[in-house]
A and B are shown apart, each in its own frame.
Chain A
Amino acid sequence: MPPEPLGQREPRVAGTGPAAVSVSLAADWLACAARTVHERRTWLTELDAAIGDGDHGINLDRGLMAILADLEAGAMPVDDLGRLLTASGRRLLGLVGGASGALYGRALMTAGTRLTERAATEAPGRRTMAEIALGGAVDGITALGKAVARDKTMLDALLPALETLRAAPAGEPIASVLTRVAAAAEAGAQATIPLVARKGRASYLGERSAGHLDPGAASSAILLRCLADVVAASVDAEARGALR
């Protein structure tokens, strides 16, 4: 699959306005996700071997590494946040395979499409963009996988995360909100351990799927922890810049 046509190759992120900041954050997020999943690929694969087909870590690692390589080579669209996420989703779709490739691919594509649509009429703030992106991701996953809460899937991490994001008080700083969102995803992932799987390969095991952490929920929690970390780092950098 050829990469999406580029708006411009150099500089990697055009300008310094809010749109450029958000694209640069998304690129940092993808890089964090690729690094963290790479470090934890064996663990994720072991989780998947226990109740699935044992390729989650390796496959997701391959897809994210390809995105990272494309980003570094200037082969991803970096002029628009939505287009960057959509192109990333398409890469996952073609490279990761299995349910997680289709689901994460669709999640990023739906999130990206919605962000692009919204950006056409206004310049939403980071909080709104996070809500559009995570809401889009959850809708994309739900539409494709038809899972609901407590089916022992990635939604068990993502749904409490989205709920936390939407319920956060209006004045709460974005870094604090996203840290709580990541914690909600991690707690949601842990809470999949006693569940009996009702979707995917794990559901073939029936009761024997209980007692294991769901690998999709585990990787979803990693992705949201990365989002919290890169946004916190960006807010810190802005604060340091303002002091200079």
Chain B
Amino acid sequence: MRETSVVGLVLVAHSEEVVRGVAAMAAQAAPAVPVAGAGGLGGGRLGTNGLEVVAALRHVLAETGTDGVLVLLDLGSAAMATGVALDELDPAERALVRLADAPFLEGAVLAAVEAAGGASLDAVAAAAEGARSMTKWPKD
């Protein structure tokens, strides 16, 4: 058993490479945070697969116990694949999952950093959603 709580992340995107790249950036910022992803349809085809999202959620839930999982989404159908995946979970599992309404890459990195500090699922979700107003190029 871990001594401190740690929220995990599930990354859902249309491309396997996008998921791998963003997971690597999150891992660099916060190596101890469990991250799993679902991206692409295999064979380099772009798309999202709801059953793969279910597997990713269960994989991270197994590592995080009751601390919870935050899901980050890229475009449109990632949300639908995740919606179907949530319906496949047991209510007890479902209660431990939250969806971030956040930019995919920026949200994942900020969430990973927050999770590494032992923050709650609510705080990790807030960190991810804070990425929506992140300034990249301050105008004077």
Residues on A close to B: CB < 8 A? Answer: 1, 53, 55, 59, 90, 93-99, 101-103, 105-106, 144-145, 200-201
Contacts and interface: CB of A to CB of B under 8 A. Distances in A.
B100 to A, nearest CB: 18
B41 A144 contact: no
B80 A55 contact: no
Contacts, number: 59
Contacts of B123: none
21 contacts: A55-B47, A59-B47, A90-B51, A93-B49, A94-B52, A95-B49, A97-B48, A97-B49, A97-B81, A98-B47, A99-B76, A101-B77, A102-B48, A102-B80, A106-B83, A106-B84, A144-B84, A145-B80, A200-B77, A201-B76, A201-B77
A83 B7 CA distance: 36
A53 B74 CA distance: 14
Given A55-B46, A101-B49, A93 B84 contact: yes
A90 B87 CA distance: 12
B45 interface: yes
A178 to B, nearest CB: 28
Interface in B25-80: 41, 45-52, 75-77, 80
A97 B83 contact: no
Contacts of A97: 41, 45, 47-49, 77, 81
Nearest to A202: B76
A40 B80 CA distance: 25
Contacts of A94: 49-52
Closest 4 CB pairs of A and B: A97-B47, A102-B80, A99-B77, A94-B51
A90 B84 CA distance: 10
B76 A105 contact: no
Contact of A201 (B49, B75, B84): B75
A53 B46 contact: yes
A144 B84 CA distance: 7
B101 to A, nearest CB: 14
A111 to B, nearest CB: 14
Residue with the greatest number of chain B CB neighbours at <10 A, chosen from A53, A99, A105: A99
Contacts of B48: 97-98, 101-102
A55 B77 CA distance: 13
A204 B25 CA distance: 28
Given A106-B83, A201-B76, 5 more contacts: A93-B51, A101-B50, A102-B48, A102-B50, A201-B77
